[in-house]
Structure 1
Amino acid sequence: MINELIESIVAFCDYCRKNGLNIGIKETLDAFEVVKLDLFYEKEIFKWSLRTVFCNSKEEFDKFVGLFENYWLKSGKIIQKVVNQNKSVLEIKITNQILSILHNQDSVVEDSTEKESSASSVELLRKTDFTKISIIEEDRLIYIAEQLWKKMSLRITQRYRKSNRRKLIDIRKTIRYNISKGGTPINLQYKAKKKVKPKITIFLDVSGSMDRYSFFLLRFIFILHKFFQKITTFIFSTRLMNITNLLNKPKLSEVLLLLEDEANVWSSGTTMGDCFEEFNYEYGNRILSGRPVVIVFSDGLETGNVEHLYNQLSKIKSKAKKLIWVTPLLGMQDYQPITKGLTAILPLFDEFTSAHNVDSLLKLEKYLTDVL
């Protein structure tokens, strides 16, 4: 039973590492310390003890709970209590296992190689075009991408908060506050700069030519909604749809379920001019007040009137703080924006960038922090 427990701990560490947690030799040794402290007697105590050892963020905490339940319960493994008379035997065997880990050079090299291999595979996935991701790799990519995009969004909002620190001394408030101290301005009072929360307006092309990309881009936009309060999102193809309220749902799966009823919006043609005209008429004055940053995710393949597209996008551009056009086609080798639609509206863009993989979307951080 003792040997089975030790083998299970080692196997569980390996299982967590293969499923995205950063588990190395140190974490494995700490897991053995948890066992030596008798913290495995109760399932919940054992679970939270290992979680403390293995995890460094809320995302990792949440992921660990599923891994623990799946390994120890669903796999039929039972945490068994070691009786007191076997405790000394347990400590000896764990000590031997620790020594084996520490002194087995091949084991250390293998672990290092595996970590390097894992890091390399993560880098490869980050740089792989969304259309070339296999079904097997998709779940892993989504997890990696979400962690990176969340960190990016958090950095942007943190920089925004830091940029609004108080700076100007309020003379009147300073005098009034220090009257009780003889009038000497010992404690300075400041004028608080009025915080104007940044506004972002997003248009996501969900036409047939964007089919494979739109799923990943929607995930990216969903995460942005969790970190920015003043953000509005529309999807479009042959007609426009405001999905801002849908993206405020707790889970993306709920959003996708509700969007199933709008099948005629997805995977059809693209008439951007008509969609932008609808936006200008129905939403323009309200949404574009305050000069938001406007981001358009589209390949720019227009099937409607190009002049009409230019006129409608010009109206949006005139009220926007910045117009950023993001296209997955820039990830293609030797790509040139020579389609009639893009050629016409290209002069309107403040930025023209790519959105074909995880790393390309992370570069949006630069453009957003420059203007927010």
Structure 2
Amino acid sequence: MSDPVELATRFCRVLRAEGLAVGTGQIIDFCRAAAELGELYWAGLATLVSDREEIAVYDRVFRAFFSGHESMSMPEPQPDAPAVMRTAHTAGLADPSDEDADQQVAMASHVELLRKKSFADCTEDELHALFAAGARLPVATRRSRRYRAARKGSPDFQRTLRASFRTGAEPVRRAWRVRRLRPRRVVLLLDVSGSMAAYSRALLFFAHAGVRAQRGWEVFCFGTRLTRVTRELAQGTPDEALRRAADEVVDWDGGTRIGESLKRFLDGYGHGGLARGAWVVVCSDGLEFGDPEMLGQQMLRLSRLAHRVVWLNPLKEDPAYEPLVRGMQAALPHIDVFSSGHNLAGLVEGLAGALGPR
């Protein structure tokens, strides 16, 4: 059998020839994800595809490239055997013993269960295991003004004209281009008041994973006041980062003044560039102790400034939940995505359904 890394590299080159923006960094991420997940198809889909329109191309290339490898054919979804539970032996990237394979399956199964377990019910060790396995965060992107060569898209007249010089000024070979994708800033506003005590630590774990994994993430904590903790979460282990963040946040487990905190954010940071064109994600239960009218006014300012406003409320875990508190009533008209953030699956699903090039 061919060397797994060489095989994966050749597959990525074929994808690049089909117009996907697959660089050296994506190839390295693909090899690492495939070795960790043990599933070639899903590892490539998560690391090599950056646009929903590219999924069809990826599927076609995957089927054609691995058509001679039965163990690498595209998997069918099975509720009793999720893809993350398959081992590297199935994907052909490793050859572990049966005992090692069983351990990998058990570990992946345990993490998959933790992803759907409420943060309020997770122990300290379970939170460490959950985020140590990787949050697989969605990437917020935007279309830049710059273009790249592609197999389809809008006509690239300049490259077409240059190529025609080789064919007697006849445009035999036409060139195409598409806009490049750039990361879009993501701003997390985390409620660390007393009513969110069961979720605050897990949310900071999530923020730490986001800041370490992707550029352009900014994190603020708020209760009765606003505190920027991006720098504290950017280095070290999760425990060290949370310890530094806790030293900065003086109103931990206190009251909640969402409207005043949003005003401080917009006055001090938002209009200065952090919120302009960004995804702003508010993680809070909406229990406002301040003036709801102020909250509504600041949410209106935020919606006009940000690209999208996402509100993740862990109380939405309950199917019978209705946003009847005054704070949520004032904020809802200015929210683009309203979802639950009570577990890791809810956090990722709420963001993945919203983030993307717009």
TM-score, normalised relative to structure 1: 0.60
- Aligned runs of 1:49-60 on 2, under 5 Å? 56-57=35-36
Q: Deviations over 1:18-38 (max 9, x none)?
A: xxxxxxxxxxxxxxxxxxxxx
Task: Name the SS of the counterpart of 1:184 in structure 2.
Answer: coil
Of 126, 129, 136 in structure 1, the residue corresponding to residue 118 of structure 2 is 129
In 2, Cα distance between the equivalents of 1:346 and 1:270?
17
Aligned twin of 2:338: 352
- Aligned runs of 1:243-282 on 2, under 5 Å? 243-282=229-268
In 1, Cα distance between the equivalents of 2:120 and 2:261?
26
Of 307, 330, 334 in structure 1, the residue corresponding to residue 316 of structure 2 is 330
In 2, Cα distance between the equivalents of 1:214 and 1:112?
35
Q: Which has the higher helix share?
A: 1
Amino acid at match of 1:286: G
In 2, Cα distance between the equivalents of 1:158 and 1:273?
28
Deviates more, 1:340-349 or 1:329-338: 329-338
Does structure 1 retain, via aligned residues, the 8 Å contact 2:208–2:241? Answer: no
- Aligned runs of 1:172-321 on 2, under 5 Å? 172-186=158-172, 188-191=174-177, 193=179, 195-287=181-273, 290-321=276-307
In 2, Cα distance between the equivalents of 1:204 and 1:334?
24
Task: Name the SS of the counterpart of 1:241 in structure 2.
Answer: strand
User: Is 1:343 matched with 2:329?
Assistant: yes
Aligned twin of 2:12: none
Judged with a 3 Å threshold, the aligned counterparts in structure 2 of structure 1 residues 223 and 159 are, in CA distance, closer, same or farther, namely: farther
Amino acid at match of 1:198: R
Judged with a 3 Å threshold, the aligned counterparts in structure 2 of structure 1 residues 187 and 248 are, in CA distance, closer, same or farther, namely: farther
Amino acid at match of 2:130: L
Amino acid at match of 2:202: F
Does structure 2 retain, via aligned residues, the 8 Å contact 1:157–1:228? Answer: no
Amino acid at match of 2:115: R
Unaligned runs of 5+ in 1: 1-54, 60-107
How far the C-alpha of 1:256 sits from its partner, in A, is 2.1
In 1, Cα distance between the equivalents of 2:219 and 2:263?
16
Amino acid at match of 2:155: I
Identity %: 29
In 2, Cα distance between the equivalents of 1:308 and 1:133?
35
Does structure 2 retain, via aligned residues, the 8 Å contact 1:288–1:319? Answer: no
Does structure 2 retain, via aligned residues, the 8 Å contact 1:207–1:269? Answer: yes
Aligned twin of 1:52: none
- Aligned runs of 1:31-50 on 2, under 5 Å? none
Judged with a 3 Å threshold, the aligned counterparts in structure 2 of structure 1 residues 345 and 164 are, in CA distance, closer, same or farther, namely: farther
Q: Deviations over 1:38-60 (max 9, x none)?
A: xxxxxxxxxxxxxxxxx92399x
The structure with the larger Rg is: 1
In 2, Cα distance between the equivalents of 1:177 and 1:135?
61
In 2, Cα distance between the equivalents of 1:248 and 1:135?
21
Judged with a 3 Å threshold, the aligned counterparts in structure 2 of structure 1 residues 279 and 164 are, in CA distance, closer, same or farther, namely: farther
In 2, Cα distance between the equivalents of 1:118 and 1:189?
48
Unaligned runs of 5+ in 2: 1-33, 39-97
Task: Name the SS of the counterpart of 1:325 in structure 2.
Answer: strand
Judged with a 3 Å threshold, the aligned counterparts in structure 2 of structure 1 residues 355 and 205 are, in CA distance, closer, same or farther, namely: same
TM-score, normalised relative to structure 2: 0.62
Task: Name the SS of the counterpart of 2:179 in structure 1.
Answer: coil
Does structure 2 retain, via aligned residues, the 8 Å contact 1:206–1:267? Answer: yes
How far the C-alpha of 1:177 sits from its partner, in A, is 4.4
Does structure 2 retain, via aligned residues, the 8 Å contact 1:273–1:308? Answer: yes
Aligned twin of 1:74: none
Does structure 1 retain, via aligned residues, the 8 Å contact 2:266–2:302? Answer: yes
Aligned twin of 2:73: none
In 2, Cα distance between the equivalents of 1:289 and 1:260?
24
Judged with a 3 Å threshold, the aligned counterparts in structure 2 of structure 1 residues 124 and 253 are, in CA distance, closer, same or farther, namely: closer
How far the C-alpha of 1:281 sits from its partner, in A, is 1.1
- Tell me the number of residue pairs that the alignment of Structure 1 and Structure 2 aligns: 262
